[in-house]
Structure 1
């Protein structure tokens, strides 16, 4: 990337849409067509317009910034969807109240069904040791990979999710903090920034995904500790998967380790790691047009599996949002994804308001 996106963004106002319209209407602007596509994407959400921005016949730093502007404040293009599990909602409330000075102790809780291993682990990172009782694992069992694969980061001991990989090195954690302390401005800039992670051994990268080291000690994460302390764990995994895209980069893609790892993780046990791995594959598809049909097929297959499950799938909405920004997304893909989002919106509207003093935990002082 010849010009840093952060530098280019400083040239514009806070009104992304107004800036894009101004460039699209300026006959002297050399990337007017790309700006028009960016405007159309933000208005209509057709990923073909976003792909057209990326595929501008004269790519440069300005087309990178147009791409970032087109995806501003959009799921996966600019930020990762928030955790939606019941267990992370509990952890966020406990963590935020502690951050504001309340001496709140959580000793145990119960779940009506198993939730993502990463969500369970993130909860314990926030709350501390915690006994979790799970009433059941409805079919399809969240603990069973969708496809057999060589690479996995989670295993289960009965109800309990455990890392299937070694603890990452302190150097890997320090590098993660350096690279992943902020959201990416676009998948393209995220890919570039994640390059140092690709120099880590694969064992370190996989270890980061499962052992979930805590956030960097920065103002952003001190602030988020007061509202959504689990969000760091949701954000860091896609950063690591972008790092995996750089692993052994000289290997031909079809037989590469990086491809095999990401596909295995995407179709492993149902987890945040699944959509994080798919996000990295989508990023690869933007960068390499030859990969677009393969990646579209992979994202659709994972979304179809979530839709077919006759139970709640907490990553279903994020998979749908990812489908909508996958290069090559077809009308049939969009229909399936939009149906998921429409149903989720309806469910939110129908959900009753919880009693003001409701508690999900046992606590002590």
Structure 2
């Protein structure tokens, strides 16, 4: 029934007077054209939801960052790790023993680099304000701490059984946040300790063909993708608890406003997914995304997750005109040639290496 052309498929549904969800398809077409989240939300809030409306939502999400794929990491240290990993995949003998960054980058990026390259000493020239090591809000749940310059997991390592569940549930991208949420249900059966442990210890990818191929070009991408999957799993943790007083809400909110890291926007992605599913969560989630984005925009330095946060803001239910203005301006600064909501990677930091 459907092809690889989501726009064409949606137009056919929207133009079919016999299609029972024609109005939802029309809103999906408008979302694809304008990016107005109100149209996407109207698909989710269809008065007669069913598997077909979920499919329309997925077609609307097709090939859109965060809706269908996690933005590629853009840190300088990740560029280096991908280069080294790709060279080794070609059989080249590349040894790196020491490298330095002109300024700090997220703890998850540094850890992902070491997962690909191996143990390596990393020197950081400066931690310009606002200090990347300081959370926006100190909460009960944090997965990173710093020993001077060095990021260190603040939680125990996960169990091998938990990693196996992650590989089975999160080995592929999601068609949409809604389908991703459903697919992440097995992760929600894990202990909170295992879920938080995987966020910081970054277990390696599944031994599947997809990740064998990506290992030859972008071996760090698994580590960027796995954290949102885990955060979707946290959305299932103790699902019987009422959302306002739930552990899952507290955990994700604390991580979202924790240290500047991939974990923060991964937690926000899960919260945005919760907002699509639960109208009562929408006001608070919109405020959390805006708080994190405002902090990134106000920083007088490069924030590598800023464009990711701006993209999430535009996809957040209840996104207001002022939210959209801030997010659009952030994307435009990084993408002056104009590619709509498809932000180009931010300017890379300088790095040096020895070895």
1:280 aligns with 2:283: no
1:27 aligns with 2:42: no
Give how far 1:361 is off.
Answer: 2.8
Q: Distance in 2 between matches of 1:353 and 1:274?
A: 20
The question of whether the paired residues in 1 share the 8 Å contact of 2:236 and 2:248 is answered with yes
Q: Deviations 1:333-352 (Å, cap 9, x if unpaired)?
A: 11100000000013999x99
- TM-score computed with the length of structure 2 as normaliser: 0.96
Q: How many residues align structurally? A: 349
1:325 aligns with 2:326: no
Q: How does 1:46-195 map to 2 (within 5 A)?
A: 46-195=36-185
- TM-score computed with the length of structure 1 as normaliser: 0.93
The question of whether the paired residues in 1 share the 8 Å contact of 2:100 and 2:351 is answered with no
Equivalent residue, structure 2, for 1:3: none
Q: Distance in 2 between matches of 1:178 and 1:144?
A: 34
Of 338-347 and 295-304, deviating more is 338-347
1:233 aligns with 2:233: no
Indicate how the Cα distance of structure 1 residues 359 and 263 shifts in structure 2: closer, same or farther if over 3 A, else same.
Answer: closer
Q: Distance in 2 between matches of 1:212 and 1:53?
A: 35
Q: Distance in 2 between matches of 1:305 and 1:359?
A: 25
Unaligned runs of 5+ in 2: 338-342
Equivalent residue, structure 2, for 1:211: 201
Equivalent residue, structure 2, for 1:344: 334
Give how far 1:360 is off.
Answer: 4.2
Give how far 1:290 is off.
Answer: 1.1
Corresponding residue SS for 2:336: helix
Corresponding residue SS for 1:248: coil
Superposition RMSD on alpha carbons, in Å? Answer: 1.8
The question of whether the paired residues in 2 share the 8 Å contact of 1:146 and 1:267 is answered with yes
Following TM superposition, where does structure 1 have runs of at least 4 consecutive aligned residues deviating by more than 6 angstroms?
351-354
The question of whether the paired residues in 2 share the 8 Å contact of 1:303 and 1:316 is answered with yes
Give how far 1:199 is off.
Answer: 0.6
Q: Deviations 1:207-237 (Å, cap 9, x if unpaired)?
A: 0000000000111001111111100000000
Corresponding residue SS for 2:92: coil
Corresponding residue SS for 1:268: coil
Unaligned runs of 5+ in 1: 1-10
The question of whether the paired residues in 1 share the 8 Å contact of 2:158 and 2:195 is answered with yes
